[in-house]
Chains A and B, each alone.
Chain A
Amino acid sequence: MKKKILYALLGTLIVIQFVPSGRPDNKPVSGSDIHEQMNVPGDVSTILTNACYDCHSQKVNYPWYASVAPVSFLVSSDVREGRENLDFSLWEKIPLKKKLKVLTEIGEEVEEGDMPLPVYPFLHPEAKLSQEDRELILNWTKQASEELLD
């Protein structure tokens, strides 16, 4: 009985490998990343790149296990939804008011510890943000907003 369940599970695992995960490709547009559009200090850039770019950019680094179902389904949907909310690589295309909205939201999410998504730092320890990191990001979002309004 136990063996049957095990086989069934293994079988399912193999079968779902053939279901396409619809993994979103990276399609960067030259010159339009926030790094090319705004002043992003080095320490802020490191945090954004390590903790956010895997879901909120066109520079997603997919690790090997992101190709294995069912993890691939989760990763794909995080990237798709993440980019819909905020895509640092397509910053140029975001209208000015939306940029102000998004910068405010970045501050809120990071301040509350809601971003990066809590699962992420388990597999990417460099994405774990310290209190200092959070403050850096929060202050930068305020500066960047002022810069946009000038």
Chain B
Amino acid sequence: MNKRILTFTIIAGLFISLTAFVSKNTQRPLEKPKTVFTIPEDVNTIFQNKCFDCHNVNADGEKSKKKLLIDKLPTLSKAKLIGKLDAISEVADEKEMPPEKFLAKYPEYTLTDDEAKRLSEWATAASDKMMK
């Protein structure tokens, strides 16, 4: 009888610590969710056509690279990413980008109204989502 209780207790104890162990392990990733940041296809097309030439790690200008590297966005910390998305929605709203001087030479880079609206809405929604 005593043996049974002992065996039972041991098995129960093992079982409890096992579930605790398993649940701890499965919960860990939930505690710190990795922000998966992806750029939707249509937004990416706008970036590629109108912005990427100046804002990628291999671009020429130091100034434009310091301000924004589109290919590095997914590697940024959450705080920085929100900051950059805010800057993108700002320049899209104000049609500040691409720079006026550049557009004088290459008018085909001008953002259309639809493109500016899409960029701004996407950047705003994406950063809103991250702040929740």
Chain A positions within 8 Å of B, measured between CB atoms, are 96-98, 100-105, 108, 112, 142, 145-146, 148-149
Q: How many residues of B contact A (CB 8 A)?
A: 14
Please encode chain B, from 107 to 132, with 1 for each CB lying within 8 Å of some chain A CB and 0 for all others.
00000000000000000000100010
Contact B83 A96 (CB under 8 A): no
Consensus secondary structure, chain B interface: helix
B80: Cβ under 8 A from any A Cβ: yes
User: Which of A98, A101, A102 has the most chain B CB atoms closer than 10 A to its own CB?
Assistant: A101
User: Which of A100, A103, A108 has the most chain B CB atoms closer than 10 A to its own CB?
Assistant: A100
Contact A98 B86 (CB under 8 A): yes
Contact B66 A108 (CB under 8 A): yes
Contacting residues, chain B, for A112 (C-beta < 8 A): 66
Contact B84 A104 (CB under 8 A): yes
B104: Cβ under 8 A from any A Cβ: no
Contact A149 B78 (CB under 8 A): yes
B87: Cβ under 8 A from any A Cβ: yes
Contacting residues, chain A, for B77 (C-beta < 8 A): 142, 145
Contact A97 B127 (CB under 8 A): yes
Query: Please, which residue of chain A has its CB at the minimum distance from the CB of B123?
Result: A97
Q: How far is the CB of A134 from chain B (nearest CB, A)?
A: 15
B70: Cβ under 8 A from any A Cβ: no
Cα A101 to Cα B87 in complex, Å, equals 7
Contacting residues, chain B, for A108 (C-beta < 8 A): 66-67
Contact A103 B79 (CB under 8 A): yes
User: Which of B67, B85, B87 has the most chain A CB atoms closer than 10 A to its own CB?
Assistant: B87
Cα A103 to Cα B77 in complex, Å, equals 13
Cα A88 to Cα B17 in complex, Å, equals 53
B69-85, CB < 8 A from A: 77-80, 82-85
Contact of A100 with B86 at beta-carbon distance under 8 Å, contacts A142-B77, A145-B80, A149-B131 already known? yes
Contact of A100 with B66 at beta-carbon distance under 8 Å, contacts A142-B77, A149-B78, A149-B131 already known? no
Contact A104 B66 (CB under 8 A): no
Contact B78 A101 (CB under 8 A): no
Contacting residues, chain B, for A145 (C-beta < 8 A): 77, 79-80, 83
Query: Please, which residue of chain B has its CB at the minimum distance from the CB of A109?
Result: B66
Contact B82 A97 (CB under 8 A): yes
Query: Please, which residue of chain A has its CB at the minimum distance from the CB of B82?
Result: A100
Contacting residues, chain A, for B85 (C-beta < 8 A): 97
